[in-house]
Amino acid sequence: MAAALPLNRTVEPEEETYVKVTFWRRFRRHQLAVISGGVLVCMALCALLAPQLGHLAGFPDPNAIDEVYWQGNALPPCFVNGTACAHHVLGTDEVGRDLFSRLLFGARISLTLAVTAVLMEVVIGSLLGALAGYYGGLLDYVLMRITDVFLSIPILPLLLVLTGIVAETSTKAALNFGTIVIIIGILSWPSVARLVRASFLTLREREFTEAARAVGNSDARVIFRHLLPNAVAPIVVQATLDVANVIILESTLDFLSFGIQPPTASWGNMLASAQTNVEQAWWVAVFPGLCILATTLAINFIGDGLRDALDPNMK
Question: What is the Cα–Cα distance from 288 to 268, expressed in whole angstroms?
Answer: 8
In a domain? residue 80: yes
Instruction: Say if residues 60 and 267 touch (Cβ distance below 8 Å).
Output: no
Q: pLDDT digits over 78-117, tens only? A: 555 545 555 777 878 777 788 888 899 989 888 888 899 9
| Selection from 11-15, 79-83, 146-150, 274-278 with the highest mean pLDDT | 146-150
Q: How many CA atoms lie within 13 A of 9 on its CB side?
A: 13
Residue 120 has pLDDT above 80, yes or no: yes
DSSP 206: S
The one-letter code for the residue type at 120 is M
- Which residues, 6 or more positions from 232, have their beta carbon under 8 angstroms from its beta carbon? 310
The one-letter code for the residue type at 202 is T
* pLDDT cut 90: percent of the chain above it: 13
Q: Dihedral angle at the C-alpha atoms of 44, 273, 182, 169, nearest 10 degrees?
A: 160
Question: What is the Cα–Cα distance from 78 to 88, expressed in whole angstroms?
Answer: 10
How many Å from the N-terminal Cα to the C-terminal Cα in the chain?
36
- Which residues, 6 or more positions from 103, have their beta carbon under 8 angstroms from its beta carbon? 90, 265, 267, 270, 287, 288, 291
CA distances from 1 to 6, 8, 208, 224 (A): 10, 11, 14, 22
- Which residues, 6 or more positions from 235, have their beta carbon under 8 angstroms from its beta carbon? 122, 126, 192, 195, 196
Please compute the mean of the pLDDT values over residues 181-190 and round it to a whole number.
86
Q: pLDDT digits over 266-292, tens only? A: 888 888 888 777 777 788 888 888 998
What local confidence, expressed as pLDDT, does residue 69 receive?
63
In a domain? residue 12: no
In a domain? residue 77: yes
Domain range for 34 is 26-310
Q: Alpha helices, DSSP H only, in 189-282?
A: 190-203, 207-214, 219-221, 232-255, 267-274
Question: What is the Cα–Cα distance from 180 to 125, expressed in whole angstroms?
Answer: 18
Instruction: Say if residues 99 and 93 touch (Cβ distance below 8 Å).
Output: yes
CB atoms within 10 A of CB 240: 22
In a domain? residue 3: no
Least reliable range by pLDDT among 54-58, 95-99, 250-254 = 54-58
In a domain? residue 209: yes
Q: pLDDT digits over 224-245, tens only? A: 888 888 888 888 888 888 888 8
What local confidence, expressed as pLDDT, does residue 281 receive?
77
The one-letter code for the residue type at 188 is S
Number of domains in the chain: 1
In a domain? residue 6: no
How much is the pTM?
0.79
In a domain? residue 15: no
From the list 180, 207, 144, the residue with the least C-alpha distance to 6 is 207
Instruction: Give the CATH number of the domain where residue 156 resides.
Output: 1.10.3720.10
In a domain? residue 95: yes
